[in-house]
Amino acid sequence: MVLEKLGDSLKQAFRKISSLSSIDREAVESVIRDLQRSLLQADVDAELVIELSDSIKKKVLSGKTPPGMTLKEHFIKVLYDEIVGFLGKGEGGLEIKPQRILLVGLFGSGKTTTAGKLAKWFRSRGLKPALVACDTFRPAAKEQISQTASSLGIPAYTEGKSPKDVAAFALRNSKEDVLIFDSAGRNALDEELARELKELAKAAKPDEVLLVIPADIGQAARRQSEEFGKLVGITGVIVTKMDGTAKGGGALAAASVSGATVKFITTGEKLSDIEAYDPKRFVGRLIGYGDLQGLLEKAREAGIGADAKSAERLMSGKFDMNDFYEQIGQMQKMGSMSKIIEMIPGLGGMKLPKGTLDVQEEKMRRWRYAIDSMTPEERKEPDLIKASRISRIAKGSGVPESEVRELLKYFRQTQKLMKMAKGGKGFRRGPFAQIAKQFGLGGM
């Protein structure tokens, strides 16, 4: 996974907040110290790290906790929002419309490969792309473009001696919606490259000039995007090779602070290894919590938690088929359980057996029918349910026996999870304990 290490340490920071017994200056500082360490390891500029830390500290300790939020929730929210803001702004990607895109960047940054990836990206969104081989500097560059284009089944325009000639030829002869202009790299953005790119831009008249930067340059991405921005003008950045380095965080933060928008990241050598960059989604995935805000809102909308008695029972470790029935109903309102689990700090990081919680809605509905067909005793003591009862329940509910068995198995797993979580520390008093309780995951 991309930036696994940064993700792990961020996850830990959130978990730590959940486990704190009170939020005071010392607690905030200790979480921030952890955060600083992990950001520095991701090659984020030290000065930026300090700025971020100060901003988080100020917001959390200002005493202005939004109404309806505990200080702990507030802390989590501030941390999350600040990290998102830090790693980028706005949504990435490009508008799905006819346009011309010029890719610029230093040697080996991934321009030519990215040209192919972008073509594929647009094609799968219903547009007709073509590649334009404006790297006349490296002998094999035109060949590389032609090969990529033919593997995608799209045209490549390669005719012309100089970059601007190739561009002009393409503009005269192409009928495609999206033209992607590759350009030559250099060791540095020197005068020669600047002149060539300016000339090329004049001929190609691009709507977008995207700087291609490899993630492994880390914080140096700031200077590079500033320089390219000043000398040739850029409308955005693509950070490549996110798969091969721990420095991606530094590159993203640096590009963002330079004022550029990161439009895409690429994560491998295959033509499909590209994605529109959305800092919110990226951070959500990085820390494995999904969207924190969405979770809070959903929980409120669903009006869950009315049944405090059931929650009490769960806290005390009792958990029978009646509780399970209720849970399933609540989950149906909220989406799959594994998704919900991912969104709960402290649980998101819990290592659960794969597939344990992956229950589809359709199945939940049938399970409820099956539980409806159980007797009150069976619901109180599911252990009573043996073969003959399974077959009776299956007949009564119209749910296949195999699924009734699956339901029982899932019930037992959940019961075990409840016990396990009850034994664990930290989460019991965490900010999300209330929400967890409402999901029937209480007592953690």
Ligand X SMILES: Nc1nc2c(ncn2[C@@H]2O[C@H](COP(=O)(O)OP(=O)(O)OP(=O)(O)O)[C@@H](O)[C@H]2O)c(=O)[nH]1
Cβ proximity to ligand X: between 74 and 142 the closer is 142
Shortest Å distance, C-beta 272 to Mg ion: 19
Binding mask 236-255 for ligand X (x = CB under 6 A): ----xx-xx-----------
Shortest Å distance, C-beta 205 to Mg ion: 21
- 3-class secondary structure per residue, the chain: CCCHHHHHHHHHHHHHHHHCCCCCHHHHHHHHHHHHHHHHHCCCCHHHHHHHHHHHHHHHHCCCCCCCCCHHHHHHHHHHHHHHHHCCCCCCCCCCCCEEEEEECCCCCCHHHHHHHHHHHHHCCCCCEEEEEECCCCCCHHHHHHHHHHHHCCCEECCCCCHHHHHHHHHHHCCCCEEEEEECCCCCCCHHHHHHHHHHHHHHCCCEEEEEEEHHHHHHHHHHHHHHHHHCCCCEEEEECHHHCCCHHHHHHHHHHCCCCEEEEECCCCCCCEEECCHHHHHHHHHCCCCHHHHHHHHHHCCCCCCHHHHHHHHCCCCCHHHHHHHHHHHHHHCCHHHHHHHCCCCCCCCCCCCCCCCCHHHHHHHHHHHHCCCHHHHHCHHHCCHHHHHHHHHHHCCCHHHHHHHHHHHHHHHHHHHHHHHCCCHHHCCCHHHHHHCCCCCC
| Chain position whose Cβ is nearest to ligand X | 185
Q: How many residues bind ligand X (CB under 6 A)?
A: 21
Cβ proximity to ligand X: between 53 and 267 the closer is 267
Cβ proximity to Mg ion: between 111 and 280 the closer is 111
263 counts as binding ligand X under rule CB under 6 A? no
Chosen from Mg ion, ligand X, none, partner binding at 268 (C-beta under 5 to 8 Å by type): ligand X
438 counts as binding ligand X under rule CB under 6 A? no
Chosen from Mg ion, ligand X, none, partner binding at 244 (C-beta under 5 to 8 Å by type): ligand X
Binding mask 98-137 for ligand X (x = CB under 6 A): -------x-xxxxxxx---------------------x--
Cβ proximity to Mg ion: between 112 and 136 the closer is 112
185 counts as binding ligand X under rule CB under 6 A? yes
Choosing from 112, 258, 261, 438, the residue that interacts with Mg ion (CB under 5 A) is 112
Binding site for ligand X (CB under 6 A): 105, 107-113, 135, 138, 141, 185, 240-241, 243-244, 266-269, 273
